[in-house]
Amino acid sequence: MKTAAVPEPRTAAALAARRRKAEASLQRIHEAIIRLRREKAQVSVAAVARRADVSRTFLYDNPEARATVAAAMAEAGDRRSQLLEDQDNAHEAPWRERALNAEDALKATHAEILAQRTRIGELIGQIRDLEAEWTEEAIQQITTENTTLKQRVRQLTTDNRTLDERLKAARSNLRFQDRRVADLEAQILSSPE
C-alpha cells in the first residue's frame, strides 16, 4: 500500500491557483450580491452568476457559494414580501376611506330624498286642500315650487344611484384588497425561513 504522497510542485501550484481562483470568485459573488441589493434587483442564481462572472455550476458545486446565494435569496424574498405587504396596506387604506365616504354620502342622499318627498307631499296636500281659496298667482307659485322639488328629487335619485354604484365598486375593491392581503400573509407564512 502506498502512503499519502506529497504532491509534486506543479500539482501543488495548480491546487493553490485553483484555491485562489475559488476565493476570488467567492469575493466577486459577495460583491455581486451587495450590488444587487443596492440596486434592489432580484437576487437569483442566474443574476449572481452574471454579475460575479462565474458559472452557475460553480455556484451550485461550491458549498460556500451555494450557501451565500441561498441566504441572499431568502433575505431578498423576505424583504420583497414585506414591501408587497406595505404597498397593499397603503392601497387598502384609501379604498376603505372611499367606501366609508360613499356610505356616508349615500345615507345623506337617502335622508335628503326622504325630506324632499315629505315636502312634496305637504305641498300637494296644501294645493288640494286650499285650491279653491288660492289665487291663480299663488297656485302658479306652488306649482313652480312643486316642479322644482320634483326635479331636485330626480337629481337626488340619480345622485343616489351613482353613489350606490360607487359604494358597490368600493366594496368590491376592498374585498379584492382583503383577498390580496390574505394571499400575501399565506405566502409569508408558507415561505421557508
Domain spanning 80-190, CATH architecture: Orthogonal Bundle (1.10)
Q: In terms of C-beta distances under 8 Å and separation of at least 24 residues, what long-range contacts does 166-169 make, across chains too? A: 166/98, 166/102, 167/99, 167/102, 167/103, 167/106
pLDDT on residue 1: 46
What are 84's three cell numbers?
Answer: 408587497
Residue 131 — pLDDT band, cuts 50, 70, 90? low
pLDDT on residue 54: 87
Residue 96 — pLDDT band, cuts 50, 70, 90? confident
Q: What is the mean pLDDT of the chain?
A: 84
> If we measure between CA atoms, which residue out of 27, 79, 76 comes closest to residue 53?
27
Residue 161 — pLDDT band, cuts 50, 70, 90? very high
Helix (H), strand (E), coil (C) string for 92-144: HHHHHHHHHHHHHHHHHHHHHHHHHHHHHHHHHHHHHHHCCCCCHHHHHHHHH
The tens digit of pLDDT for each residue in 145-155 reads: 999 999 999 99
> For residues 63 and 78, which has the higher predicted lDDT (pLDDT)?
63
Residue 97 — pLDDT band, cuts 50, 70, 90? confident
pLDDT on residue 125: 84
**Domain-by-domain residue ranges, the chain?**
9-61, 80-190
Helix axes 63-130, 9-39, angle to 10 degrees: 10
Q: Which of 108-112, 115-119, 124-128, 165-169 has the lowest mean pLDDT?
A: 124-128
Cα separation, 75 vs 186, whole angstroms: 18
